[in-house]
Amino acid sequence: MRGVIGVNKSAISQLIAVLMGVVIAITLFSPLILKNAFAITAEEMLEDPVLEKRARTISAGLRCLVCQNQSIDDSDAELAIDLRKQVRDYLKQDMSDEAIFLALREKYGEFVLLSPPIQPATYLLWIAPLAILGIGILLMANLFFAAKKNNRGSLSQNNKSSGLQVVLPSSKKKKKSETGEAQIPDIIKITFPVFVLILSVAIYLGLGRPDLNDQPLAERSEMRATAEKELEDRQNAALKAFNQAKARVEKNPESLSAQFMLAATASQIGSIEDEVNALEKSLSLSGGDARIKSQLAEALTRQADGQVTKAASSLISQALQTNPEDIRALYLRGLESFQKGEMGDAILAWQSTATLILPDSPLADTLRSDIAKAATSNGVDIPKIKFASLPKSNISTSNISDSGGNNALIDVNPTLFEEQRSQFSNLSEIEQAQFIQQMVQRLSDRLEQQPENFYGWLQLANAHLSMQDVASASNALNSAANAVTSDEHRIALIEAALLSHTSLSLTQLVENQLALLPDSLRQSNSIKFLEGEYWRQIGDNNTAIKLWSDILNEIPAEGQQAQTLQQLIAELSN
């Protein structure tokens, strides 16, 4: 029985020994294999084999200052390649090895020499190999003497039991306790090395894999985590907005704003089919609005993987007929010409697009590289691109920033929404876009520093809304909700959320904020009006009519407000 166990054990330990041997061999030889595979290229090498050998030796003693723990001989960094070339240039100039080391040391300092200096930080590095060797020798000696002692013991035992093939259980036990073998169960002896192997492979794959960036660990995982979370948040918000827009369209398929919003949200979640469908419906509902035509053309192009289709092309022409300065249509016209190979036309169209946008708008980069591409494939010089300059419009932020309404609130003003819209739409489309773009950039920079700035968040939300960026707008409004410090803020927030008309992901927010208002305020006409708007937006027209009728009973019937309210109620009743 003992013999069987013995065979098993030695087979397993042999297996482990072979495995470890393979691992050690790979580790030892991998630098050689990798070095030859990656670092030095044939064109770098010198023809003279003697010089080349010297070059290799010198390179091996020079630190790559980018990677720092590698010699330039086995680094692929740009600087290492340049330094290798420099070393070979020096050699061609008949410089001695010492002179080369010295020349580079004069430029890069002591640090460029690879042998690590002996200093407190590196004591462990220098001592560790010696210490490990010492410990190894001690262990070997220990094992050696123990084995000798053991041998002597078993010899005498063998002598005693010569002729007897069966070792009695009792004597076996005794022997085992003498050497201590029985103390550690076999299962641990086998699983422990395996566990260590698996652990080291896991650590290597997690931390040391060569394809990971050369970035500090904490920063890397933190960056990845925040990026993932941001993406997820944005996707969730967009998906929610899309689902709500869809519900609204189902309830009211003939509403232009509902269809248009569905298209905007579909584009955010990247569902091109839905976007195209919604835009087609919007187009027919709007009676052929030129702006929707160019949007549809863009969506169709994206649907065709960036190819401007026939349908898109005719839409572009129509849009440009109505408004020759339609940025989207102009850009697409350029793209169409580019795809047809008419580079001159493409450049012209893109150049006129550029004159309509600011040099730092996102499209500007695309335009620059597109024009450069067209010019290169046509074999002409890259033309100068002229972008629009900042508009000298007399409109100031106050027109927008007051939309949150500081004190105008408490007066009921049903036309509030429309007024702001029309004020803004007096500007040309480009002016609007440029204005908003600047504002958004400035604002979001500022708000990062002062998240408690409630009206700042409102402004930002407003700006996002005018760019149809519903997800960002609702994010901004949610941030505003965290900055609410007074009932006045609360009312302004509700108003802003309702102002969006879309309400989309914001119904919950409006509901919460309404509930948090004190009863006295909730009974006021202004809040009743807002609440009515809320119910109207979520589709409960009856409650809206009821609330608004309440207000009508309390205000003088001849006033403008009363008239507007009556109009609104009449619209809802139909």
Partner 1 sequence: MNVRYILPIGIFCVIALISGVAMISILNGDQSRTQLPSPLIGKKAPELVLTSYGRSQASSDAALDFKQMIGDKPFIVNYFASWCAPCQKEIPFLEKLSQKVPIIGVAYKDKPDELAIFLERFGNPFLHIGLDNDGKTAINWGVYGIPETFLISDEGIIIIRHAGEMTHDVYRSIFLPKIEEMMQ
- The residues binding partner 1 (CB under 8 A) are 65-66, 68, 78-79, 82-83, 85-86, 105-111, 124, 132, 135, 139, 142-143, 146, 179-180, 183-184, 192, 196, 207, 216-218, 359, 365, 368, 372, 382
Burial label, 145 (beta-carbon count in 10 A; 0-12, 13-18, 19+): exposed
Cα 498 to Cα 399, 408, 462, 493, 572: the distances in Å are 18, 16, 11, 8, 17
Q: Which residue has the tokens 């109207």?
A: 536
- Do 272 and 302 meet the contact criterion of CB atoms below 8 Å apart? yes
Contact 514, 494 (CB under 8 A): yes
**Smallest distance, Å, CB 395 to partner 1?**
27
**CB atoms < 10 A from the CB of 270, how many?**
12
Report in angstroms how near the CB of residue 90 gets to partner 1 at its nearest. Answer: 11
23, two tokens: 């691992």
Give 48 or 222: the residue with its C-beta nearer to partner 1. 222
- Minimum CB separation of residue 383 from partner 1 in Å reads 12
Least separation, in Å, of the C-beta of 111 and partner 1? 6
**Residue 84 CB neighbours (<10 A):** 24
The CA–CA distances, whole Å, from 553 to 201, 395, 556, 557 equal: 78, 39, 8, 8
Please spell the DSSP secondary structure of 21-52, one letter per residue.
HHHHHHHHHHHHHHIIIII--GGGS-SSHHHH
Nearer residue to partner 1 within complex by CB, 11 or 127: 127
467 has which bridge partners?
Answer: none
Give min distance, CB of 185 to partner 1, in A.
11
Tokens of 267: 């584009």
Nearer of residues 152 and 522 to partner 1, judged by Cβ: 152
Taking the complex as a whole, how short is the minimal distance between the CB of residue 337 and partner 1, in angstroms? 22
Contacts of 58 (CB under 8 A, 6+ apart): 87, 91, 97, 100, 101
Instruction: Tell me the closest approach of the beta carbon of residue 467 to partner 1, in angstroms.
Output: 23
CB closer to partner 1 out of 36 and 122: 122
Owner of token pair 């993987």: 305
Q: How far is the CB of 217 from partner 1 (least distance, A)?
A: 4
Q: How far apart are the first and last CA of the chain?
A: 97
Partners of 465 in beta bridges: none
CB-based contacts of 480, cutoff 8 Å, min separation 6: 454, 457, 458, 461, 489, 493, 496
Q: Which is nearer to partner 1, 65 or 572 (CB)?
A: 65
In this complex, which beta carbon is closest to partner 1, that of residue 68 or of residue 542? 68
DSSP annotation string for 397-463:
THHHHGGG-SSGGGS--TTHHHHHHHHHHTS-HHHHHHHHHHHHHHHHHHHHH-TT-HHHHHHHHHH
Nearer residue to partner 1 within complex by CB, 68 or 425: 68
Closer of 37 and 121 to partner 1 (Cβ): 121
188 versus 515: smaller Cβ distance to partner 1 = 188
| Nearer to partner 1 (CB atom), residue 132 or residue 155 | 132
Least distance in Å: CB of 27 to partner 1? 15
| Rg of the chain (C-alpha set) | 39
Least distance to partner 1, CB of residue 121, Å: 10
The nearest distance, CB 222 to partner 1, in angstroms, is 11
C-beta neighbour count of 541 within 10 angstroms: 16
Q: What are phi and psi of 359, to 5 degrees?
A: -65, -15
> Taking the complex as a whole, how short is the minimal distance between the CB of residue 230 and partner 1, in angstroms?
20
Q: Which of 64, 493 has the CB closer to partner 1? A: 64
Other Cβ atoms less than 10 A from the Cβ of 207: the count is 10
Instruction: Please identify, using beta-carbon distances, which residue of 82 and 540 lies nearer to partner 1.
Output: 82
User: Which pair of structure tokens corresponds to residue 67?
Assistant: 């990677």
Least gap, CB of 67 to partner 1 (angstroms) = 10
Helix axes 416-425, 487-499, angle to 10 degrees: 60
Smaller CB separation from partner 1, 351 or 478? 351
